[in-house]
Structure 1
Amino acid sequence: MGLCLTAGVLLAAMVFPFVGGLGLASNRAADTVDQTSGDLAKGELPLVTTIQDMNGEAIAYLYDQYRVPLESAQISDTMKAAILAIEDKRFFDHHGVDWQGIARAAAKAGVDGGATQGASTLTQQYVKNYMAFVLGADNEQEAWEKATEATIGRKMREARVALQLEQQMSKDEILTGYLNIVPLGNQTYGVGAAAKAYFNTTADKLTVPQAALLAAIANRPSSLNPGASPEKALERRNLVIDKMRENNAFGTDQGEAEKKAGEYKAAPLGIVEDLQILPKGCVGAGDGPIYGFFCSYLLDYLRESGITDKQLQRGGLTIKTTLDPKATKAAKAAAEQQVPKTQNGISNVMSVVQPGTDKHRVRALVASRDYGNKAELGQVARPVPAEVLPFGPGSVNKIFTAAAAMEKRITGIDKTIDVPATYASRVYPNGNKPWVVENSGKYNDKMSLTQALATSPNTGFVILQEKTGLDSVVDMAYRLGMRETLQGVNRSGEPIKADKSNGPTQGDWTKQNNAGSYTLGPGATSVLELANVAATIVSAGTWCPPTPVEKVVDRYGKDIPLKEKPCEQAVEPDLANSLAQGMSHDTSGSGTAAAAAAGSGWNRPAIGKTGTTEEHKSVAFLAATPQYAGAVMTYADGNSPQVICANPIRFCPGSSQGVFGGQVAAPTWFNAMKAIHEGLPVAPLPPAAAKYK
């Protein structure tokens, strides 16, 4: 009688939500219940986001909860029978709430102030799991504790949602929803993921012992982990099999049912030796560790473009990227050929961008090192081919001096410039003294700008920068593509803080301090932005932000727009085309990259520019054809950067024979690009305009 009276009081509280202090005494509580039941009916669960390459092949996955959502027909009847037998054998007879169980819980609450007893129906468990693992996915532990708190108020909220849910969904829909949401351990949620992880099968093919094991560990995956606690898991699985027999899952012939149950209970747990958990995140993305740098850059780019971490980890997005597997593998092989991944303290990175007037697609981001968290193996877990590195590109910056001077009509690609052996600049003083610049080799006193770009005399470009104006040269670098490098980091390559307390930016510092060495490229640099500069030049002067994304699609197949910067006409086409012609001799004749080009068998028209920093601690090479642009930087990335020498690559402190951009960096570019261009027609460079000759 006491239980019946208690159930009556609780029923009254369900019907009249303003009665009693049971957590439902307000319109707000009622609205929350309505919203929860409505959301549950929609069945929108956290799903896995898939990252694809340019061909639509999956290369990485992101998720908080590994889940493979299934329709009812994709789940075996055996699985359904197992979960009902152990969790709610009267599922098809009630309307969502076990009133006797709630009454017992209320009576218990009257004794000890808690609500620790009282069986929940499968519908109520569906509600509880939704509260914990969908609404509370940001903090599952806290949400689970709240969703399972031993109070009558929680029981009542859960019961009311369950009642509403049974009016909005069919029994089969509720059962399917539960089997899609329930936690089953080892990062798996729902029977679709668990069937794959534990048995390397699909949910429609689960055997009785397999289904019984999943039903056994449902909601108790930690204490019944079949890998860590096989004895407990086996005991619980066999209990489920007994319950299935009692529920006539093996037929009504008791003798036959007993026999089948005995056979099923004699079967081993049968989980696979290596759990088939979907790879998660950028470490190990794709074919080995070579896609990790691209993946890491992609995630940063998406966040800046308006995609939230919640969308990435729970949204079930499909992200089609611009990654070219062929280009990536070729670039990775070329980078490692020049600098082995085991080389201590020296790294070789390459970025590949496809030119265009509508988009500059990032096709490859690689390093001689692997992407990963094992520093002892030389791995690094940052997108180094895309981020601003605290190393300079050397004479690659002479491109910007040439372009700015050409735009001001100070010179043209066929006009001669002065190239003295040494030059004392009074425009860029060294304290109270002139700044003295020397060439690294012997040059004629005068040469064309095209010859200067190919052979790279220091004095000629310092003089040209004086005539052009440092500000114009820095601005040209920004326009052609060195944007994050100049305005996103400080002189040391550190990202500028929101309060700008670690400023000024590298570009502002260069101007404010009249740093004439800018044309010689000593400052921090992004290899990706160098590649994009080359892409801008061979795209008739059109700058586009380097992008790793083709499109992002939500779980319903709808495109999600990104906040991406539009393309710009950085310089007029005639200037860009003329500059391309001026840079076309570096790969032939006496050009600084000619030996590397010949060594690889390169025979296509291309623009190019090598660079070497004064102390030979970093070298670079920027080059492009009309089809592909790329940049390579080889640098001392250890804690104690030293002079780098080539043949073989190594540290050589104190040596006067340090590495040059035509070595290591340039061969990496040519070896990679020869493979990347395989099968493509030879594309000529555009002709120069008369006004820029």
Structure 2
Amino acid sequence: MLGRLVLVAVACGVIFAGMLLPVAGGIALAARDGSQSFTALPNVLDAAPLPQPTILLAKDGSRIAEVFTENRTSVPLSSMATPIRQAIVAIEDSRYYEHGGIDLRGTLRALKSNSQAGSIRQGGSTLTQQYVKNTLIVNARTAQEREGASARTISRKIRELRLAIAVEQKYSKDEILERYLNTVYFGDGAYGIQAAAQRYFGINASELNLAQAATLAGVVQQPVGLNPRRFPVKAQARRNVVLQRMVDLGYITADSATKASKISLSKSLRITEKRNGCTTSYAAYFCDYVLSFIKKDSFFGETAEDREAFLRRGGLTIKTTLDPALQAAAQKAVDTAIPRKDKSRKAVAVSSVQPGTGGVLVMAQNRIWGTSGRGKTTVNFNVNTKYGGSLGAQAGSTFKVFVLAAALDQGLPITTTLNSPSSRTFTGFVDCTTGAPFAPYRVQNSTGSGTYSMKTATANSVNTFFVALEKKTGLCRPKEIAEAMGVTQATGTPLKRVPSFVLGSQAVSPLAMAEAYATFAARGTHCRSVPMSEVVDRDGISLGAPSADCKEVIRPAVADAVNQLLTSVMTIGTGKSLKIGRPVAGKTGTTNENAAVWFCGHTPQLATAVWIGDPRGGQRYPIRDITINGTFITKGYGGRLAGPIWRDVMVAGLKDQPVIDFTKPDPTQIAGLQTTVPDLRGLDPAAAFAVLTTAGLKGEVGQYRVQSTQPENTVAYSYPGRGAYVTSGRVVKIYLSDGTTPPPPPLPTFVIPTPTPTLTPLPTPGQTP
């Protein structure tokens, strides 16, 4: 008991000191130089912004979703009807305009009650104290700060009293009332008077009449227990208490109160729903990706707590890169291919990225946002785990592009041919960083065998060719290229340097693959995927947007050559049934045992990746001997299942866009391309070599000079000769003139034949001539 009395005495001392401050003009504070002043307002209360809804807009400016932690729209005091300003003062702090932040009568009354309990049981708080408490809770950055701002302890109450005095000395009474009415919770998810007026009555705060204002003022005491929608009888009784209090204080007449009290609350309610969050958006998974992106990107704050606070404060307009028309087309494509509640339970995910910018244009899957039931999930199959995605899926042969790029980058001719049997056991693979050998690796083809070139092997996706090619490139460079193009394992861990890399044995996300193929489309320039083009704050000030960090990660000529090889897939290979009426590059992907199928492809303007698999586990539930959308599938393949979805998305995305062909590879940088031997006659060796280099060829001077009409030490002729078709990288021999004109060829000798006389035989004896 003695301990409680001491605690109360200490608290009273602080309170009385605070009460004297407004009267004494701060005399005591003036004597405390260097100490924290009661008027030193912490940053957390210094005009701290209140949480407001954030709006996500599509690329065309249409609304995707509105998200908020607190449904609030701040309005000035002039936009709040007079009855609500009077009602809230009457019922919550009738001496509001008389005290300096602390009401001594109410505080002493509360202290008496609390001293008996040993803790805070009764409020006695003024509007200013309530504003302080609400603001501390709203702007708390950590759970510990939020707990400290609402803890029912005397120490918290003392701090609240001190801050209330500081607020009163910094702001006018009307400013504090405005802030309070924009901060306080009115139940049913409505924060602030504007949101409450719209929620319960479907009107603005400026339109509230007396009965409505009294209702809302009465809710503040117990926002849950006096919720007008759930407990209209209790809320109406509390409203009438407010009306009587307004009569007692002279704000309204008894007659006005009587008329207002006769209005049925339940009949006057006009509950207005306000959609919150991504769950009801037509692009729910993209919307969730945007929010997850903000929480993870340092552009929006140095720490996770900073970024969470940034989102919680809201009031943002986020202009995203989503193309709503293309999103609708993609959603239709995935739902048509495999309906959301299909008995196969197979999932489809598709992502599209704009090459050269990193803008995410599409993110669709054949699921509805939800926690339970067939066809529902909160997992975004398109993205990496940290953005709310799954653990990813093996990418299959779509990974072969990275080994192609490595081979061409290392100077292997595009005409490289390799013997590719139907099955082969590869030995000799070593870890490119440690030198440790790998165990023998056995590979089989499903598309043929024989001798293949890069072009035909890519078109037909020949496994043994590509593993043999990977052995030539080594395991390091393909991995480096893939990661430079934005591909990691979906869990965020680096890709592994293993022989099975080229066959896509590692689990990745569709968005990462779309990003990588967009890099080839942009001729080797990689831009990381960014779902927004601009973020504008509540004051209309542009904050910009995170950078896509666009930079060249492979030489343009290498990307051009890969694109040329990938076009063969669409003309003579596994994707030949997926033409879209313009030059296009693509690659099919089918994982071991048909666990998942893919199709990735692009034009210079658009890159899209499609995955089909089973969220329960593709190895356990493969795409084999199964009925999907009414069709029995013996074995699923990327070109047959994922390809048609990809085609539909690409056709929709490229509608009304100009036809742009891929840039032809530069023969000076890519070996094996067809080129023509130029005319070198009359050039000196240096000039001849320069011309050959421009044509992608190499020069070599012949061992002997020849007679020629060309000047001495200039090219007389070459082998192969001018106009001959050869492959880039080939050596052309040039033969120099010795400066002597060759003698003219001898004139032809013509022999005039001597006429042969006609002989008449002599007559034989006895004959008459």
Q: Would you call these one fold, judging by a TM-score over 0.5?
A: yes
CA 25–651 in structure 1, closer or farther in 2 if over 3 Å, else same? farther
Structure 2 residue 279 is the aligned partner of structure 1 residue 283: yes
CA 681–81 in structure 1, closer or farther in 2 if over 3 Å, else same? same
CA 523–37 in structure 1, closer or farther in 2 if over 3 Å, else same? closer
Moved more, 518-527 or 262-271: 262-271
Q: Deviations over 1:527-575 (max 9, x none)?
A: 1111111110111101121111323344444454777573221111111
Cα distance in structure 2, aligned partners of 1:121 and 1:134 = 20
Q: Deviations over 1:1-22 (max 9, x none)?
A: xxxxx999954564479xxxxx
* CA displacement at 1:449 relative to structure 2: 2.0
- In structure 2, the residue matched to 1:215 is 217
- In structure 2, the residue matched to 1:500 is none
Structure 2 residue 318 is the aligned partner of structure 1 residue 319: yes
Instruction: Tell whether the 8 Å contact from 2:339 to 2:629 is kept in structure 1 after alignment.
Output: no
The structure 1 residue matched to 2:74, chosen from 69, 79, 87, is 69
- In structure 2, the residue matched to 1:596 is 578
Instruction: Tell whether the 8 Å contact from 1:355 to 1:629 is kept in structure 2 after alignment.
Output: yes
- In structure 1, the residue matched to 2:483 is 478
* CA displacement at 1:38 relative to structure 2: 6.9
The structure 2 residue matched to 1:630, chosen from 590, 604, 608, is 608
* CA displacement at 1:423 relative to structure 2: 3.4
Structure 2 residue 441 is the aligned partner of structure 1 residue 464: no
Instruction: Tell whether the 8 Å contact from 2:393 to 2:508 is kept in structure 1 after alignment.
Output: yes
Cα distance in structure 1, aligned partners of 2:555 and 2:285 = 37
Cα distance in structure 2, aligned partners of 1:195 and 1:454 = 64
- In structure 1, the residue matched to 2:381 is 384
Cα distance in structure 1, aligned partners of 2:236 and 2:323 = 47
SS in 2 for 1:283: coil
SS in 1 for 2:217: helix
- In structure 2, the residue matched to 1:527 is 510
- In structure 1, the residue matched to 2:348 is 348
- In structure 2, the residue matched to 1:425 is 426
- Aligned CA-pair RMSD: 3.7
> Counterparts of 1:29-68 in structure 2 under 5 Å?
31=36, 33-36=38-41, 40=45, 42-68=47-73
- In structure 1, the residue matched to 2:591 is 613
Instruction: Tell whether the 8 Å contact from 1:293 to 1:381 is kept in structure 2 after alignment.
Output: no
Structure 2 residue 166 is the aligned partner of structure 1 residue 168: no
* CA displacement at 1:576 relative to structure 2: 0.9
TM-score, normalised on structure 1?
0.82
- In structure 2, the residue matched to 1:661 is 638
Cα distance in structure 2, aligned partners of 1:610 and 1:183 = 55
Cα distance in structure 2, aligned partners of 1:182 and 1:523 = 51
CA 55–233 in structure 1, closer or farther in 2 if over 3 Å, else same? same
Amino acid across the alignment from 1:197: R
* CA displacement at 1:218 relative to structure 2: 0.9
- In structure 2, the residue matched to 1:499 is none
- In structure 2, the residue matched to 1:298 is 293
Q: Deviations over 1:247-283 (max 9, x none)?
A: 4444xxx5xx515632443232457575524403x33
Cα distance in structure 1, aligned partners of 2:611 and 2:399 = 13
- In structure 2, the residue matched to 1:642 is 621
User: RCO (CA 8 Å, sep 6+): is it higher in 1 or 2?
Assistant: 1
Moved more, 218-227 or 287-296: 287-296
Cα distance in structure 1, aligned partners of 2:77 and 2:479 = 62
* CA displacement at 1:113 relative to structure 2: 6.3
* CA displacement at 1:433 relative to structure 2: 8.9
Amino acid across the alignment from 1:405: A
- In structure 1, the residue matched to 2:229 is 227
- In structure 2, the residue matched to 1:675 is 652
- In structure 2, the residue matched to 1:490 is none
CA 450–674 in structure 1, closer or farther in 2 if over 3 Å, else same? same
Q: Deviations over 1:277-307 (max 9, x none)?
A: 4403x333x2264544534653454368646
- Counting aligned pairs with the same residue, the percent is 31
SS in 1 for 2:513: helix
CA 139–326 in structure 1, closer or farther in 2 if over 3 Å, else same? farther
Structure 2 residue 419 is the aligned partner of structure 1 residue 441: no
Cα distance in structure 2, aligned partners of 1:542 and 1:52 = 27
Instruction: Tell whether the 8 Å contact from 2:394 to 2:506 is kept in structure 1 after alignment.
Output: yes
Cα distance in structure 1, aligned partners of 2:516 and 2:141 = 46
Q: Deviations over 1:507-528 (max 9, x none)?
A: 2xxx3xxx32322222212211
Amino acid across the alignment from 1:124: Q
SS in 1 for 2:401: helix
CA 666–274 in structure 1, closer or farther in 2 if over 3 Å, else same? farther
> Counterparts of 1:78-477 in structure 2 under 5 Å?
78-105=83-110, 119-135=124-140, 138=143, 142-143=147-148, 145-146=150-151, 149=153, 151=154, 157-250=159-252, 254=253, 257-258=254-255, 261-270=258-267, 275-280=272-277, 282-284=278-280, 286-287=281-282, 289=284, 291-292=286-287, 294-295=289-290, 297-299=292-294, 301-302=296-297, 306=301, 308-343=307-342, 344-356=344-356, 359-374=357-372, 376-387=373-384, 389-412=391-414, 414=415, 416-428=417-429, 435-442=441-448, 445-477=450-482
SS in 1 for 2:369: coil
Cα distance in structure 1, aligned partners of 2:288 and 2:381 = 7
Say which structure is richer in helix: 1
Moved more, 305-314 or 190-199: 305-314
Cα distance in structure 2, aligned partners of 1:433 and 1:97 = 79
Q: Deviations over 1:341-393 (max 9, x none)?
A: 1134411111110001xx3111122211223322x233222332012644222
SS in 2 for 1:31: coil
Instruction: Tell whether the 8 Å contact from 1:199 to 1:270 is kept in structure 2 after alignment.
Output: no
CA 94–265 in structure 1, closer or farther in 2 if over 3 Å, else same? farther
* CA displacement at 1:470 relative to structure 2: 2.6
The structure 2 residue matched to 1:580, chosen from 555, 560, 563, is 563
Q: Deviations over 1:95-129 (max 9, x none)?
A: 43333333445566777767766844333332343
Of the two, which has the highest radius of gyration?
A: 2
CA 426–28 in structure 1, closer or farther in 2 if over 3 Å, else same? farther
- In structure 1, the residue matched to 2:549 is 566
Instruction: Tell whether the 8 Å contact from 1:645 to 1:651 is kept in structure 2 after alignment.
Output: no
CA 304–395 in structure 1, closer or farther in 2 if over 3 Å, else same? farther
CA 259–682 in structure 1, closer or farther in 2 if over 3 Å, else same? same
Instruction: Tell whether the 8 Å contact from 2:200 to 2:229 is kept in structure 1 after alignment.
Output: no
